[in-house]
Amino acid sequence: MMVRTLELEGFRNYRSFSADFAPGVNVIYGENAQGKTNLLEAVRYLSGAPSHRARSEGELIGFDVPSARICAQLESRGRDFKVEVQLTRGRRRRMTSNGVRLKTAGELSERLHTVLFCPEDLMLIRAGSAERRRFLDQSLCQLRPRYAAALAEYNRLHEHKRRILRDWEEKPSLLDLLPEFNDRMARCGAILIHYRAHFIRKLAQFAAPIHAEFSGEREKMTLSYETVKTVEDPLIPTREIYPRLLEHQESHRRAELESRTCLSGPHKDDLLVSIDGRSAKQFASQGQTRTAALSLKLAERELHQEDMGEWPVLLLDDVLSELDQRRRDFVLRRIRGGQVFITCCEEEALDGLGEGRTFHIRAGALAD
C-alpha cells in the first residue's frame, strides 16, 4: 500500500499543498510547529483511523477557512484509487473513492492501512488501560470493518447505559430500559472480545521475536488479554461469549446501580504486557517499557502485512529523536520494505536511511 500523491487545501495550517511521494522512505523535516505532524495526520486520516489528537473533525479545518480537502492517489492491492475527503464546518464530511461516494471510515480503511508511531506511544505500556484499548481499537478498525461497526454501536450503547445509571434515582422509570441495553451491549461486546482475543494472540506471536532480538535475546515478552472475568477463554466463538457477558452483567447489577457506573463489559479490557513473566507496567524500567512499546508497534506493522499481503504505510512522527542510538538503529533496520513517512527536525539526522525523498516543510507549505 502506498500514498503516491497528496493534495491538501485548508487542512490545519496547509492552505494549498501538493506532493509526490516515494514508494520507500519519505522524510518530512522542518522546524517546530511548521506542519510536519499535520501532514502525517492527513495521511493517517485517509486510512479511516480516528485522529490521534483532534477531538472533533472541525479541528482539522484551517482556522480561518470554512472547509478542508484531502485528496490522494493511493496504490493498494494492485489497484489505483483516487480518494477525496471534503470537510466542511457544520456539515457531514463527504468522502469518495474514484468518484464513488463512501459512507464510513471503514471503507477508507479498505484502501489504506497505516501504523502510526508517535512519542506518546512510548508510554503505551505505562499508561492506563484506555491507551492500550485505543491501540487495539485503532488497529482492529482498519483490519476488520465488522469490528469497527460493532465498536461504534457498543460505544453508543455504553453512553446510553452510562446516562441511565447516572440518572436512575431521579427517574426510576429509566431502569425499564436497562435489560434491553444490557442485551445489546452483550451482543456487541461478544464481537469485540472475539476479535481482540484473536488479534492479541497474533500480535504476541510477532512481538516475541522482535522483542527478543531488540533486547539482545536477554528478555522474553509475552502478551495476554484481560477481559470480563466470566469469559475464561476469549478465543471461544462469539455466541458462547454472549451468555457469559450476560452472566457477568447480572452479577454486577447491584454494584452498577449503587455506584451508578457501568462496571461490566469489554470497555474495561486491557492488554497485559509482561517481560520475563512480570508485569511490564509495574516492574519494567523506563528503557524497558520504551523497548516494549516499540516492539508492539513493529509487531502491529508485521501483523497488518501478514493479514493483507502488503505493508501498511508506516508513520513515524518525531519518534526517532526520542530514542537512543541503539534503539534507533534497530527501528531503521526493522522498517525496511513498505512506504514510510518520518518526521524530524533536521534533514541530516536521518542519513543512511536508503532511497527515498525528503520534504522540507515551512509554515504549512513546501520550502524551496
For ligand ATP, the binding residues (CB under 6 A) are 12-13, 30, 32-38, 59, 61-63, 318, 345
The residue (of 33 and 235) whose beta carbon lies closer to ligand ATP is: 33
Secondary structure in 3-state letters for 299-348:
HHHHHHHHHHCCCCEEEEECCHHHCCHHHHHHHHHHCCCCCEEEEECCHH
The residue (of 225 and 341) whose beta carbon lies closer to ligand ATP is: 341
Tell me how far apart the alpha carbons of residues 358 and 346 are, in angstroms, rounded to a whole number: 11
The residue (of 33 and 255) whose beta carbon lies closer to ligand ATP is: 33
Report DSSP letters for 27-54, one per residue.
Answer: EEE-STTSSHHHHHHHHHHTTTPPPSS-
Least gap, CB of 325 to ligand ATP (angstroms): 21
The residue (of 295 and 343) whose beta carbon lies closer to ligand ATP is: 343
Least gap, CB of 60 to ligand ATP (angstroms): 6
Classified as helix, coil or strand, 358 is strand
What is the signed CA dihedral for 350, 353, 358, 360, rounded to 10 degrees? -10
First-to-last C-alpha distance (Å) of the chain? 29
The residue (of 90 and 277) whose beta carbon lies closer to ligand ATP is: 90
Residue 59 is given by DSSP the state: G
Least gap, CB of 366 to ligand ATP (angstroms): 13
Least gap, CB of 358 to ligand ATP (angstroms): 15
Least gap, CB of 44 to ligand ATP (angstroms): 12
37 is in an annotated binding site: yes
**Residue at 53: amino acid letter:** R
Least gap, CB of 52 to ligand ATP (angstroms): 11
Grid coordinates representing 162 are 452510562
The residue (of 262 and 344) whose beta carbon lies closer to ligand ATP is: 344
35 is in an annotated binding site: yes
31 is in an annotated binding site: yes
30 is in an annotated binding site: yes
Which residues of the chain form beta strands (DSSP E)? 2-11, 14-20, 25-29, 67-76, 79-88, 94-97, 100-102, 114-117, 221-226, 270-275, 278-279, 313-317, 340-344, 356-362, 365-366
Considering only the C-alpha atoms of the chain, give the largest distance between any 2 of them, rounded to a whole number of Å. Answer: 67
Grid coordinates representing 347 are 534533514
List residues forming the annotated binding site for ATP: 30-37
List residues forming the annotated binding site: 30-37
